């Protein structure tokens, strides 16, 4: 049970942690990947997060404090992991995370607390969208997700399509598009809260994060 909960925590935070190490600590991609895995492995072995008090800080702030201390100690002692020597406790796509960093390479980070929060939120909504897609397909509602994807997840640089355009492309009526989009957004809201609850370490933190969302 503890391992399952920890795997959920890693899924929620490994990507922001990796990028944070690259930007804040100026780690190379290989070093950041090794440090990310080493940090979570050490946290699991030593139960880093057992002393977290949700009444004092948000969990992501506490985690970042633990991470900074971990990296500082490792560098001070000059104990570097050799590439391939880290124990991988969850399969992590570091190449994809590095590609995301390169995509936004021109954006300087001035407030790492706000940046870390945005990355955490991006991961939260990405997981929720993936779950919505899976649920729609499992329920035979692929068209519902297709409408949502075309209207709400279109290319940021492009122009949002019209309901009529989506209806023509998918063989629907404009009313069908309206109804499917409304239902998909309602389901996404439900899923976001489900994922959020899974990723919070206490009911108090969940309620706080829910209000912020």
Q: Look at residue 155 and tell me whether its pLDDT is greater than 70.
A: no
Per-residue pLDDT, 84: 44
Residue among 205, 17, 50, 26 nearest 116 (CA): 17
Min mean pLDDT across 2-6, 85-89, 153-157, 182-186 is at: 85-89
Q: Domain segments of the chain: what residues?
A: 1-109, 111-213
Q: Is the pTM of this model over 0.75?
A: yes
For the segment 143-154, the average pLDDT, to the nearest whole number, is 95
Q: What is the pLDDT of residues 78-104, one digit of tens each?
A: 555 444 444 455 678 899 999 988 887
Strands (E), 48-149: none
Residue 30 tokens, joined: 């290989």
Average pLDDT, the chain: 88
Gap between the Cα atoms of 50 and 68, Å rounded = 17
* Residue of 43 and 107 predicted with greater confidence: 43
């Amino acid at each position: 049970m503890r391992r399952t909960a920890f795997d959920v925590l890693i899924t929620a935070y490994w990507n922001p942690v990796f990028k944070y190490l690259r930007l804040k600590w100026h780690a190379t991609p290989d070093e950041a990947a090794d440090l990310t895995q080493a940090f979570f492995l050490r946290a699991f072995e030593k139960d880093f997060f057992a002393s977290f008090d949700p009444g004092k800080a948000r969990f992501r702030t506490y985690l970042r404090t633990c991470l900074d201390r971990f990296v500082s100690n490792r560098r001070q002692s000059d104990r570097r992991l050799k590439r391939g020597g880290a124990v991988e406790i969850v399969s992590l796509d570091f190449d994809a995370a590095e590609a995301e960093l390169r995509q936004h390479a021109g954006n300087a980070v001035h407030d790492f607390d706000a940046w870390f929060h945005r990355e955490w939120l991006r991961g939260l909504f990405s997981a929720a969208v993936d779950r919505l897609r899976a649920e729609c397909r499992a329920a035979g509602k692929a068209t519902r997700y297709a409408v949502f994807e075309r209207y709400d997840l279109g290319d940021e640089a492009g122009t949002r399509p019209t309901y009529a355009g989506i209806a023509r492309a998918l063989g629907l009526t404009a009313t069908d598009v309206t109804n499917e989009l409304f239902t998909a957004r309602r389901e996404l809201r439900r899923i976001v809260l489900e994922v959020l609850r899974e990723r919070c370490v206490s009911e108090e933190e969940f309620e706080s994060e829910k209000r912020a969302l």
